Amino acid sequence: AQSVTQLGSHVSVSEGALVLLRCNYSSSVPPYLFWYVQYPNQGLQLLLKYTTGATLVKGINGFEAEFKKSETSFHLTKPSAHMSDAAEYFCAVSDPNTNAGKSTFGDGTTLTVKP
Amino acid sequence: DAGVTQSPTHLIKTRGQQVTLRCSPISGHKSVSWYQQVLGQGPQFIFQYYEKEERGRGNFPDRFSARQFPNYSSELNVNALLLGDSALYLCASSLAVANSPLHFGNGTRLTVT
């Protein structure tokens, strides 16, 4: 079984400040990990993914995440927040032995960006 | 290319009624998954279909059923609606490879009164 815990249901930062959204996972097998973003009244869009290889992965809109196996973490960061980053962010895990169709999601973190 | 399309966008039903939600995947995607997103929570896996066969089922009652058609589009059916079924229902398509991410539609907002 797999699970995802996102620490902090709400995060507020000032425009230009560092964004850090936390994600810890539990998995009995080496997982595939994903970050998605959801804007109001829309579906989820992929920000970035980790499958194998380099543990620091870069995504769209300046976001990146680092897979740390020893800490079972996959935290999302962005050096400088922009007003357009305000949205809800979801971390997800899937089993490489199946496919991402059956992913397990965290409960999300709402990011607010203050001017 | 068109993304994942879902219809209808909004739906209001009464307790005990039945509802059918529809989804068209991205061209070339043969895997379709359904998720339920209750307000304040992350998406919960309901079903996955690939090549018209059910490939996975989440922890949902038998009132929930789905199918996939030869053109890979899919329908989600929910019978005997309960108030607790009120949610955003998301359809996602993907390539049938393990590292392929999900591509989501904008969802169907179901309200049960």
3-state SS of chain B is: CCCCEEECCEEEECCCCCEEEEEECCCCCCEEEEEEECCCCCCEEEEEEECCEEEEECCCCCCEEEEECCCCCEEEEECCCCHHHCEEEEEEEECCCCCCCCEECCCEEEEEC
pLDDT, tens digit (0-9, with 9 covering 90-100), for A59-78: 999 999 999 999 999 999 99
Q: Does A26 touch chain B (CB under 8 A)?
A: no
In whole angstroms, how far apart are CA A108 and each of A90, A100, B74, B96? 5, 18, 27, 26
pLDDT given at position A29:
86
Q: Does A49 touch chain B (CB under 8 A)?
A: yes
Interface subset of B 72-101, CB within 8 angstroms of A: 90, 92, 94, 96-101
Chain B: residue whose CA lies nearest to A32 = B99
pLDDT given at position B18:
98
pLDDT given at position B76:
98
pLDDT given at position A95:
86
pLDDT given at position A99:
67
Q: Which H or E element spans position A112? A: strand A109-114
CB atoms inside a 10 Å sphere around CB A113 = 19
Contacting residues of B for A41, CB less than 8 Å apart? 106
pLDDT given at position B92:
96
Of the candidates B58, B59, B76, the residue with the CA atom closest to the CA atom of residue B67: B76
CB neighbours of B62 closer than 8 A, spacing ≥ 6? none
Of the candidates A39, A85, A77, A82, the residue with the CA atom closest to the CA atom of residue A59: A77
CB-count burial class (<10 Å; 0-12, 13-18, 19+) for B6: buried
Tokens describing residue A67: 């897979």
Top-confidence residue, B47 or A97: B47
Chain A: residue whose CA lies nearest to B90 = A43
State the Cα–Cα distance between residues A84 and A69, nearest whole angstrom: 31
pLDDT given at position B98:
75
pLDDT given at position B2:
79
Tell me the pLDDT band of B1, cut-offs 50, 70 and 90. low
Q: Cβ separation of B42 and A4 shorter than 8 Å?
A: yes
What's the one-letter identity of residue A64?
Answer: E
pLDDT given at position B110:
98
Q: Cβ separation of A99 and B96 shorter than 8 Å?
A: yes
Of the candidates A54, A51, A52, A59, the residue with the CA atom closest to the CA atom of residue A21: A59
pLDDT, tens digit (0-9, with 9 covering 90-100), for B55-100: 999 999 999 999 999 999 999 999 999 999 999 999 999 987 778 8
The single residue listed with the structure tokens 């009464």 is: B14
Provide the mean pLDDT of chain A: 94
Q: Which H or E element spans position A5? A: strand A3-5
pLDDT, tens digit (0-9, with 9 covering 90-100), for A14-67: 999 999 999 999 998 888 999 999 998 888 999 999 998 899 999 999 999 999
pLDDT given at position A13:
97
Q: Name the 3-class secondary structure at A83.
A: helix
Burial profile A12-49: b = 16 or more Cβ within 10 angstroms, e = fewer: ebeeeeebebbbbbebeeebbbbbbbbeeeebbbbbbb
Tokens describing residue A86: 């305000």
pLDDT given at position A30:
86
The yes-or-no verdict on residue A105 having pLDDT over 70 is: yes
Q: How far out from the chain centre does Cα A83 lie?
A: 18
Contacting residues of B for A102, CB less than 8 Å apart? 33, 45, 48, 55-56, 58
